[in-house]
């Protein structure tokens, strides 16, 4: 995942116009979801709460989205690691506030991102045994063991809809 550019950090400076920390916290939470980037309602809320244009709001939400996704992708879990992403000349209080908010939510965001990714089927259960024939008309058949495996797998929920199917193989 690519690092943030100077334009992204310039867009984040719009958060200085927020009336409270709760506004910044709410924008961070809502911008993490990739589907939130296209929502007209979120753009309107951002415009009205920060007194910015539609274009500035869109750039801000995109920058917040990239920042939060980058932290979740790199699994940054310390304040020092997150602070290192910001440039030297970035507003200190805003940098600290964003770091605090991100640290509060990064584990939830990471779990959400992992749950929403497309993946291979997951192994739910495994049962195995080795069978050896104890009697046969041929000695050579008795010496060959048979290994039996039964696996239960769960298909990716994003591909199966609401109800993921579990099948025995």
pLDDT of residue 26: 87
Average pLDDT taken over every residue of the chain: 83
pLDDT of residue 129: 94
Give the CA distances from residue 24 to residues 6, 84, 92, 94, 134, in Å, rounded to whole numbers and listed in that order. 20, 20, 15, 10, 72
| pTM score | 0.67
What are the pLDDT digits (tens) for 38-85? 678 888 888 888 888 888 888 888 889 899 889 888 888 888 998 888
pLDDT of residue 27: 87
Using the predicted structure, report yes or no on whether residue 161 has a pLDDT greater than 70.
no
CA distance 139 to 133: 10
Pick the residue with more confidence: 41 or 106? Answer: 106
pLDDT of residue 96: 92
């Amino acid at each position: 995942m690519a690092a943030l550019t100077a334009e992204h950090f310039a867009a984040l400076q719009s958060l200085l116009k927020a009336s409270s920390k709760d506004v910044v916290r709410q924008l961070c939470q809502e911008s993490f979801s990739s589907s939130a980037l296209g929502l007209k309602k979120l753009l309107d809320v951002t415009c009205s709460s920060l007194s910015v244009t539609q274009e500035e709001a869109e750039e801000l939400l995109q920058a917040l989205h990239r920042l939060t996704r980058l932290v979740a992708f790199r699994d940054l879990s310390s304040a020092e690691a997150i602070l290192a992403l910001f440039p030297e000349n970035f507003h200190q209080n805003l940098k600290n506030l964003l770091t605090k908010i991100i640290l509060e939510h990064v584990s939830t965001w990471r779990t959400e991102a992992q749950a929403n990714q497309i993946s291979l089927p997951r192994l739910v259960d495994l049962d195995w045994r080795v069978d050896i024939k104890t009697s046969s008309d041929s000695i050579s058949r008795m010496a060959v063991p048979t290994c039996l495996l039964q696996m239960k797998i769960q298909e990716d929920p994003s591909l199966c809809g609401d109800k993921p199917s579990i099948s025995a193989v």
